[in-house]
Structure 1
Amino acid sequence: MRRQLSLTLFLLFTLFSSFAQAPSVTYHNKKGETVPKKEDSYFYRIIARDIESEAFKYVEFYTQGDVPKINAYISKPTFIQSTIGPFQSFYPNGRLYEKREYNNKNQVIDSAFRYYPNGLIESVLFYKTPSDEIYIYEKMGAKTDPTLFILAQDSLGNKLAENGNGKLVLKNLLSSNNDNYGDPDYESGPISNHKKNGEWVGKFRSYTFEETWKDGVLLGGISMDSIGEKITYNQATLTADPSYPGGINVLRQLVANNFRYPREAIDVGVSGTIMISFIVEKNGQMSNFKISNDLGYGTGPATIKALRMAKEVWKPGIQRGRAVRVAYRLPVTLHTL
């Protein structure tokens, strides 16, 4: 245990010695849920502000062996999907799983590569530079998929699709390591001229789906869960992030209005940023409140108490037409006079 703690401290120092504030460190199980101790975790996450770029360095390590899991930058510490610049993820054996590039709008751009555990390329995709002229399919009122499919092959190097034509089989080879839903997530179907065309099928977590595509436009889809419940969706309801009524600044103001400084925090003049993590549930309610970064003197519990007083229900995150649970982090800055 002492050696593991020493290694973690060394990693924190070497990775974040040039960053502004002390890094935020949280521990997580396979589902990504926060757990209190490192020994109870499957991986741990470190986030710290970069002095030069004002972005946030975002890394994750598998707890066993402190092996890198993710190496990236994000623009918002509350939202780990706000990736900017180069992104890399790794298998538990330390080999590269995926690398891609994001612009300052958190959109994937340029070439993206995914690899098998043996090091061979699984797929090569190319993401167009975002442009309404390219993406908007005006007649159908839907956005086209910005992805151009270049290459897909099996783990032995046999080509499944080449030069944008063939049958694509994309597997999330990390998903079976990260959740309790059995086989890896996947999607499979024909491509022509670098775009999805025809009937596609796949699996995501606990449900399967069928989709119809034409020249990169999703015409419609049906997802079915383990008990046979079916939900239809289209491009507009394919995915969506959770949102608070009126925007996140409304929630921040509610927390500020409801926050009551503990007496001991006033006495010592506590100032700084508290980070609260929670889950936006499928019904829009907040749950699983945890203090990711505490300033002490009762300020963490006081912040959670203020956050619980927000009565409005979130619009939940959406994945293939289904409401999903989404982890969220909210920084709260305190100043005492």
Structure 2
Amino acid sequence: MRKNLIAIVLLLTACAAKAQSSSTDTVKTNTSATAKDKPATDDNEIYSTVEEQAEFPGGIDEFMNFLYNNVRYPMEDRMAKRGGKVFVQFVIEKNGSLSQFKIIKSVSKTIDQEAIRVIKSSPKWKPAKEKGVIVRQLFTAPFAFSTN
């Protein structure tokens, strides 16, 4: 079990580093307006990357601890030696709550459900900021389930 969660931690660390080094593209793009012409944010816009990333309370280390303490490898998948990476996408709202949970890459129904269960049980996050304004952010969390 510990090996399985270590894989999750390593994968999350790599994804967090990649997300923080990304450019500031948004899910919805508007290239016709300049920064002066365009309002700082659109209330319903969901950003894929931002100037200041949303953050789990306590940072990435606490997020990894949260996953370590809450992820349970479904017994039927463990017994059938089913494993792999499942990617859960969700939105971090302006108030830090999470919404719009979606499986981007599936492993099995029960593993997918476990990944969503854990993300849904997360405490509120520190919301993202773009140009100093709190915005909604799209986030993808990978979970690795290993049969080794």
Distance 1:264 1:271 in 2: 11
1:202 corresponds in structure 2 to 37
Does the 8 Å CA contact 2:40/2:133 hold for their aligned counterparts? Answer: no
Partner residue in 1 for 2:34: 186
Quick check: 1:282–1:317 contact (8 Å CA) kept in 2?
A: yes
SS at match of 1:185: coil
Q: Which has the higher helix share?
A: 2
**Which aligned pairs between 1:245-284 and structure 2 lie closer than 5 A?**
245-284=57-96
The number of equivalent residue pairs is: 125
Other-structure match for 1:300: 112
Shift of 1:244: 1.4
- 1:44-86 per-position Cα deviation (integer Å, ceiling 9, x unaligned): xxxxxxxxxxxxxxxxxxxxxxxxxxxxxxx737855634xxx
> C-alpha deviations, 1:85-131, integer Å up to 9, x for none?
xxxxxxxxxxxxxxxxxxxxx79xxxxxxxxxxxxxxxxxxxxxxxx
Gaps of 5+ in 2: 1-13, 44-50
Q: Distance in 2 between matches of 1:78 and 1:295?
A: 24
Structure 2 length normalisation: TM-score? 0.69
Residue 90 (structure 1) aligns with: none
Q: CA RMSD in A?
A: 3.0
Specify the structure having the higher radius of gyration (Cα): 1
Q: How does 1:1-337 map to 2 (within 5 A)?
A: 76=15, 80=19, 82-83=21-22, 175=30, 184-187=32-35, 201-204=36-39, 239-311=51-123, 313-337=124-148
Give the 3 Å change call, closer, same or farther, for CA 206–317 of structure 1 in structure 2.
closer
CA contact (8 A) 1:265 1:297 kept: no
Question: Matched residues in 2 for 1:292 and 1:77: separation?
Answer: 17
Task: Give 1:202's aligned amino acid.
Answer: D
* Cα distance in structure 1, aligned partners of 2:145 and 2:17: 17
Q: Which structure is higher in strand share? A: 1
The letter of the residue matching 1:259 is V
Distance 2:41 2:118 in 1: 35
Q: Deviation digits for residues 197-237 of structure 1, max 9, x if unmatched? A: xxxx3314756xxxxxxxxxxxxxxxxx8xxxxxxxxxxxx
Distance 1:330 1:241, change over 3 A: same
More RCO (CA 8 Å, sep 6+): 2
Give the aligned residue type for 2:127: P
Shift of 1:254: 1.3
Q: Secondary structure at the match of 2:126?
A: coil
> Which amino acid in the other structure matches residue 53 of structure 2?
D
* Amino-acid identity (%): 27
CA contact (8 A) 1:280 1:287 kept: yes
Q: Which runs of 5+ in 1 are unaligned?
A: 1-74, 84-105, 108-173, 177-183, 188-200, 208-224, 226-238
